[in-house]
Amino acid sequence: MTEYRRVKGTRDLLPPETAVWAAVEATARRVFGLYGYQEVRTPLLEHTELFVRTVGESTDIVGKEMYTFPDRKGRSLTLRPENTAPVARAFLEGGLQSGPLPVKLFYVGPQFRYERPQKGRYRQFHQIGAELLGDASPWSDAELLLMLDRFLRELGFTELEVLLNTVGDAASRRAYSEALRGYLQPHAEALGADSKRRLDTNPLRILDSKDPKERELLAGAPALADHLTDAARAHFATVCEALDDFGVKYKVSDRLVRGLDYYTDTVFEIVSRDLGAQDALVGGGRYDELVADLGGPRVPGIGFAIGEDRLIEVLPASFRQRAAAAPSVLVVPIGTVPAALALKVGEELRGAGLAVEVEAAGRALRKALERAGRLGARWVVLLGEDEVGREAVTVKDLKDGEQREVPRGALAAWLATRTESA
């Protein structure tokens, strides 16, 4: 055992699990591509101020969870805790706001939050996310949710719950913040230190509280839904109607406010009962002020991020099986047939696009067949002395146990046609 261990809260992803991750990501790329999303890759490091400004000073992420450190010149840098603010920054810095809108971007990659590690919660975790910039219409909210729904269905999910809410536009939130502050102020002494501070800075954040005493107090608080402007109400109604039309099931959850400050109007989470305490699989919503907050023009946006670690934790077995990457062919030299010939046959087959393992270890035939089974190979190509003399090989189909002789020159084509239809 090495004395070097991975850093607490980080994980090594090893095969065969990495094949499952790759298959999930390939599905995301394909499905998001159907909706016109293109990949964006932003740095893992950003100036700290980016997150303070957008995610918000009074959030847990900025207040407690960021990996922030000075670089050698004393500038404050942060390992990105989320990727919406970096994408908005890159959008502006790349001048994409002056091209055709909307711009549709997706990303796959690690994020960092200094949280207490537990099942489904890591300090380096991974997100698959999508952001649509430059369209304020509720129909783009609906289309984004349809894309997410399609992706999750393609992975085989059926039992997930979509929680949907609106936090309203800026005017709705201003009115609501006042009402909430008015309600909580007389109970200020009963609030914890965090919430007491938030009462002044950002009372909406208090709705996130996990503290049982505060939750009880919040049960009697005024509802955000009663402070929505007509425009915010109409936006949300259209999103709900569109989802109803397309048969996407959701539950309106009027306490859902999300833990980041940049949200406006539609917000959502997707939760899984199979996940335990950390049950949020996806979080997202609209952020119509974010680009302007970064000093750009007012470009509305909406997006989501899927927690990939959690997604894979509860991935349906059917998808997992399909993702298992198995070679289709094992080539085995028998008796005095040299390993070099097996390697040569292997190269010919790979040239024809087949995934091949070559048995060069000189194992007994029985052991080699066991290995083929373990690898999940479909075919074993046996190079016996007699067949090799006749320029032929014996092919064993592990699916039905049948065995036949095939001329070596025809082998690649013979296997390739049968593997495609397998």
Residues of this chain that interact with ligand HAM (CB under 6 A) are 82-84, 113, 115, 121-122, 125, 127, 129, 131, 259, 280-285, 303-305, 307, 309-310
| Omega before 16 within 30 of 0, i.e. cis | yes
The least CB distance from residue 280 to ligand HAM, in Å, is 4
Kindly give, in sequence order, each residue whose CB lies less than 8 Å from that of residue 294, ignoring residues fewer than 6 positions away.
Answer: 50, 53, 54, 85, 88, 89, 92
Closer residue to ligand HAM (CB): 72 or 210:
210
The least CB distance from residue 382 to ligand HAM, in Å, is 47
Closer residue to ligand HAM (CB): 146 or 280:
280
Give a three-class secondary structure readout of the chain. CCCCCCCCCCCCCCCCHHHHHHHHHHHHHHHHHHCCCEECCCCCEEEHHHHHHHCCCCCHHHHHHCEEEECCCCCEEEECCCCHHHHHHHHHHCCHHHCCCCEEEEEEEEEECCCCCECCECCEEEEEEEEEECCCCHHHHHHHHHHHHHHHHHCCCCCCEEEEEECCCHHHHHHHHHHHHHHHHHHHHHCCHHHHHHHHHCHHHHHHCCCHHHHHHHHCCCCHHHHCCHHHHHHHHHHHHHHHHCCCCCEECCCCCCCCCCCEEEEEEEECHHHCCCCEEEEEEECCCHHHHCCCCCCCEEEEEEEHHHHHHCCCHHHHHHHCCCCCEEEEECCCCCHHHHHHHHHHHHHCCCCEEECCCCCCHHHHHHHHHHHCCCEEEEECHHHHHCCEEEEEECCCCCEEEEEHHHHHHHHHHHHHCC
The least CB distance from residue 323 to ligand HAM, in Å, is 20
Closer residue to ligand HAM (CB): 149 or 387:
149
Closer residue to ligand HAM (CB): 194 or 288:
288
Closer residue to ligand HAM (CB): 263 or 379:
263
Closer residue to ligand HAM (CB): 82 or 135:
82
Burial group, residue 81, by CB count within 10 angstroms (0-12, 13-18, 19+): buried
Rounded distance, CA 381 to CA 306, Å? 43
The least CB distance from residue 131 to ligand HAM, in Å, is 5
The least CB distance from residue 253 to ligand HAM, in Å, is 14
Closer residue to ligand HAM (CB): 305 or 369:
305
The least CB distance from residue 84 to ligand HAM, in Å, is 4
The least CB distance from residue 127 to ligand HAM, in Å, is 5
**Phi, psi at 404, each rounded to 5°:** -150, 160
The least CB distance from residue 108 to ligand HAM, in Å, is 13
Closer residue to ligand HAM (CB): 110 or 222:
110
The residue of the chain with the least Cβ separation from ligand HAM equals 307
Closer residue to ligand HAM (CB): 253 or 394:
253
The least CB distance from residue 212 to ligand HAM, in Å, is 22
The least CB distance from residue 283 to ligand HAM, in Å, is 3
Closer residue to ligand HAM (CB): 243 or 281:
281
